[in-house]
């Protein structure tokens, strides 16, 4: 029975992970035509189609997804072996890919990590809760930084900090002067809700159901940045975890008295990836940060930003 070659699987894995034939070539030190040829030969040898070429890059087909789920561990082994051989424990060279839900906690941790390990190349992407979890499970990212990350036998997670869910009130709004708001105060107000698989919106919806409240938003917005901008422009009141962004301008963060609990921001990864020196170094940096004291875990709530 014929088998795919190691070179074909290596080329396939890199395209699957990066979403681009040219990026895969750069990562492996090969030309794009060489990568294309390896993948084309693999497809033709088994009469399958592994990628759909789109305007945004190359997306895995259903068969491609199944194959990458099976072979992605080989890419991890090769990368880990390269790290061990090149860095000799010094972590002077290496790569780390991170998927995050919010820029604030992720960039904070990346900055601390870079201070210790400036030679590590970091690739970071952002998405909603489900997109980040999927990126980790599909091995398109090594580490995730996410509010209330999933737990279970396949995942390892640890908290970076704890944060509150707050209202983003336009500075011109009368509620901007309030020390806190109840959810019932929001009835009749212009509200900005998140669409898609947003953890912020999920927690807000749970609190509204607990209060038996039904609120109709003025706008459904896909991203945190869109909610912040709409609130800053005075379109309505939005919602955000208070450590998610340190962006300033046009809004006041007002606590919600009906949602007093705090929510953990986790760093997490597949347990099978915990042998990576770079991933372990990132987790150790996170652990050292938590040992700095309670202030490191509890972000302060700035009244005006």
CATH superfamily of 165-255: Periplasmic binding protein-like II (3.40.190.10)
Task: Express each pLDDT in 221-275 by its tens digit.
Answer: 988 899 999 999 999 999 999 988 887 789 999 999 999 999 999 999 999 988 8
Comparing CA positions, the residue from 282, 272, 269 lying closest to residue 95 is 282
Q: What is the largest CA-CA distance in the chain?
A: 74
Same fold, 88-162+262-299 and 165-255: yes
pLDDT at 289: 54
Helix (H) or strand (E) holding 122: strand 120-126
Q: Which residues pair with 59 in a beta bridge?
A: 52
Please, how many CA atoms are within 13 Å of residue 83, restricted to the half-sphere of its CB?
22
Q: How is domain 88-162+262-299 classified at the architecture level of CATH?
A: 3-Layer(aba) Sandwich (3.40)
**What pLDDT digit, counting tens, does each position of 186-229 carry?**
999 999 999 878 889 999 999 999 999 999 999 999 888 999 99
Residue 303: per-residue pLDDT: 34
CA angle 89, 282, 60 (to 5 degrees): 105
How far apart CA 150 and CA 156 sit, in angstroms, is: 9
Residue of 253, 231, 251, 228 whose CA lies nearest to 242:
253
The fraction of the chain above a pLDDT of 70, given in percent, is 92
Measured in whole angstroms, the distance separating CA 11 from the mean position of its chain's CA atoms is: 25
Asked if the model's pLDDT at residue 297 lies above 50, the reply is no
CB 96 within 8 A of CB 278: yes
pLDDT, one tens digit per residue, over 13-41 is 999 999 999 999 999 999 999 999 999 99
pLDDT, one tens digit per residue, over 71-130 is 998 998 888 887 777 665 567 778 899 999 999 999 999 999 999 999 889 999 999 899
What burial letters (b/e) apply to 179-195, b meaning 16+ CB within 10 Å? eebebebbeebbbbbbe
Fold for the domain defined by 1-71 = Arc Repressor Mutant, subunit A (1.10.10)
Contact of 112 with 159, CB cutoff 8 Å: no
Domains of the chain by residue range:
1-71, 88-162+262-299, 165-255
The pLDDT value recorded for residue 56 is: 77
CA atoms within a 13 Å half-sphere pointing along the CA-CB vector of 241: 26
As a whole number of angstroms, the distance between CA 116 and CA 282 comes to 10
């Amino acid at each position: 029975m014929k088998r795919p070659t190691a070179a074909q699987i290596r080329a396939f894995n890199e395209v699957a992970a990066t979403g681009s034939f040219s990026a895969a070539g750069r990562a492996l030190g090969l030309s794009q035509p060489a990568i294309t040829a390896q993948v084309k030969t693999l497809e033709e040898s088994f009469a399958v189609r592994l990628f759909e070429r789109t305007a945004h890059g190359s997306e895995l087909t259903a068969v491609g997804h199944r194959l990458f789920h099976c072979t992605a561990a080989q890419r991890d082994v090769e990368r880990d072996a390269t790290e061990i051989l090149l860095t000799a424990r010094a972590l002077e060279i290496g790569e780390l890919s991170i998927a995050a839900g919010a820029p604030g906690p992720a960039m904070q941790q990346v900055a601390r990590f870079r201070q210790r390990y400036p030679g590590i190349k970091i690739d970071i992407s952002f998405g909603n809760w489900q997109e980040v979890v999927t990126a980790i499970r599909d091995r398109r990212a090594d580490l995730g930084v996410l509010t209330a990350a999933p737990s279970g036998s396949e995942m390892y997670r640890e908290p970076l900090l704890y944060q509150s869910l707050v209202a983003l009130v336009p500075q011109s709004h009368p509620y901007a002067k309030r020390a806190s708001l109840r959810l019932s105060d929001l009835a009749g107000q212009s509200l900005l809700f998140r669409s898609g698989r947003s953890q912020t919106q999920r927690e807000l919806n749970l609190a509204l159901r607990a209060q038996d409240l039904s609120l109709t938003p003025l706008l459904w917005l896909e991203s945190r940045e869109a909610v912040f901008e709409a609130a800053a422009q005075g379109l309505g009141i939005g919602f955000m975890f208070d450590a998610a962004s340190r962006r300033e301008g046009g809004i006041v963060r007002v606590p919600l008295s009906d949602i007093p609990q705090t929510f953990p921001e986790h760093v997490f990864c597949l347990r099978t990836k915990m042998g990576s020196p770079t991933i372990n170094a990132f987790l150790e940096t996170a652990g050292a940060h938590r040992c700095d004291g309670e202030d490191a875990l509890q972000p302060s709530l700035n009244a005006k930003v």
